[in-house]
Structure 1
Amino acid sequence: MRIRPACISDIDALMTIRATVSENRLSDPARVRRSDYLDFHRNSTLWICETGGQVVGFSACDPRNGSIWALFVAPGREGSGCGRALLARACADLRRAGWSKAWLTTGAGTRAERFYRRAGWQVFCEMSDGDLLLWRSLR
């Protein structure tokens, strides 16, 4: 397993992973466009998890607002340590950018919620759409 910065040439793989996850599926995949990934590549930090030269996961954090925008692992690769490694990189980037806390949103009652809680994230509030706003100290 190798964690590395994403390249523009990785965007198709990121879009495929995002479209094939079993949780937090996009009801309309067209809502997250290639241009969104390009914007995050330019203005944020995108990390890739590779196994055997294949992209199997990615994370995106935004140092402009202290958020983790995305953390997705390809189906069948969950539990491999990829998600933990990507989350650690994203949190380290936000810490280096000067943030003392990070935030993200996720679905309530999901594997993702359990994953984040095990990693020390806490519920800040339930949002109007039923998702949870989670936060974590980066100190």
Structure 2
Amino acid sequence: MIRPAAEADIPELMRIRAAVQENRLSDPARVPASAYLDFLTFSRIWLFEDEGGILGFTAADPRDGSIWALFTDPAAEGRGIGKALLLHALDDLRSTGWEEARLSTAPGTRADAFYRRQGWQPSHMTEGGEQGFTKAL
């Protein structure tokens, strides 16, 4: 089931983000609970949940047309959770008037390959050395 996250879900979202090995922001101090809470004041965080608990989450930032987060618990990878969640984030951007979504991720990672398979187009390299992507909405 996919549903909007609530404040009480934040510790589990942080656990999932920290569990993703290729994530350079896996240090919880770099994305504290307050960042999630702040995000919930102007947008939604979508999460995927089953009887075993929360298995992934995503969020789009309507202020700049970007994907703020997309993480799947490593124990639940390969089940289509990320793909299903990403559709919700893209719908959020589309509903706020964006015609193109953007994001960046480390080049050569599983995330890089995932976004390419989902039709995202490489656009630029960021100053921080990440691969930028865009996707028409």
Measured against the shorter chain, the TM-score band is over 0.9
Aligned to 1:54: 53
Aligned to 1:102: 101
Q: TM-score, length-normalised on structure 1?
A: 0.94
Q: Secondary structure in 1 aligned to 2:9?
A: helix
Aligned to 2:122: 123
Unaligned runs of 5+ in 1: none
> How far, CA to CA, are the matches of 2:50 and 2:129 in structure 1?
34
- Higher deviation after alignment, 122-131 or 108-117: 122-131
Identical pairs, percent: 54
Alignment of 1:4-83 (within 5 A): 4-26=3-25, 28-83=27-82
Moved over 4 A (4+): none
Q: Secondary structure in 1 aligned to 2:75?
A: coil
Instruction: Determine if contact 1:60/1:90 at 8 Å carries over to the other structure.
Output: yes
Per-residue CA deviations over 1:14-39 (Å, capped at 9, x if unaligned) read 01111111211436421111110001
TM-align CA RMSD? 1.1
State the number of aligned residues: 137
- Residue 90 of structure 1: CA displacement? 0.3
Q: TM-score, length-normalised on structure 2?
A: 0.95
> How far, CA to CA, are the matches of 1:32 and 1:12 in structure 2?
12
Aligned residue identity for 1:117: R
Unaligned runs of 5+ in 2: none
